Amino acid sequence: MKQLSGHVALVTGAASGIGAAIVRRFQDEGARVAGMDVSSGFASDLNLSADLRSTEALENALKQMVSSIGAPTILVHAAAASFPGGVLDTHPSTFLDLYDVNVVGAARLLQLCAPQMTERGGSVVVLSSINAGFATPSLAAYAATKAALNNLVQTAALELAPRNIRINAIAPASIDTPALRASFARSGDAEDARVRNIGRHPLGRLGTAEEVADLALFLASDRAQWITGSVYAIDGGAGVTRR
């Protein structure tokens, strides 16, 4: 039997990269998947358009999901906003905007989806980052939001446990996605940036979105029924050395 047979999943950030890989992996394992993004043209059982900054937009999207494919038993928050810059050269409004998408967006989703999961229980997987645990001058606002997200996951794990809802986070290092390749291009020498980035990972390569999707599948599935409140690194060893 497929691992997610009978499950209904909501995946944010579904249009590309890790989110798109998770949609495909969950579908392959038997789940009905509603993908959510602000972009269009992606493939899921139900494509939803909503801005994570808007509670009203999320409420409307969830109503559409429930009426079309059912209430979620799995939630994956893979969407994220990012901005290059340090603490002193990132405008305060950018800090607030990234926090609204990455952290408050997760809280909005939990507040809307948890009541839908209460009868059966459920699993939540949040995409964090290895940068949550390190000084990251080039991505100060992004890293700060991911550190906050890790704490949110741990707190929510305690609050949701009596409802039989588990929540865990995945903290990737550099994953070969369109967003990462775009960041290499902005450096002026994309190939040099790629080589230097790979050098920070002891296993000698970038990760793939499919590898992250495999971990998300495990955490979302019934195989992880006794796991909650944890943050799992998937980083090619980068967290060991941070070179």
**Active site (annotated) includes residue 142:** yes
Q: b/e for 51-84, b at 16 or more Cβ within 10 A? A: bbeebebbeebbeebeeebebbbbbbbbbbbbee
Q: Which amino acid would we find at residue 14?
A: A
- Count CA atoms closer than 13 A to 43's CA, side-chain side: 6
Do 207 and 236 meet the contact criterion of CB atoms below 8 Å apart?
A: yes
Q: Which of 104, 110, 102 minimizes the C-alpha distance to 79?
A: 102
In angstroms, what CA-CA distances link 61 with 14, 167, 199? Answer: 14, 21, 42
In angstroms, what CA-CA distances link 44 with 17, 20, 35? Answer: 14, 9, 6
In whole angstroms, how large is the CA radius of gyration of the chain?
17
CA distance 189 to 33: 38
Q: Which of 83, 82, 36 minimizes the C-alpha distance to 57?
A: 36
Q: Choose the catalytic residue: 26, 95, 142, 232.
A: 142
Residue 2 neighbours by CB distance under 10 Å: 13
Which sequence positions are flagged as catalytic?
142
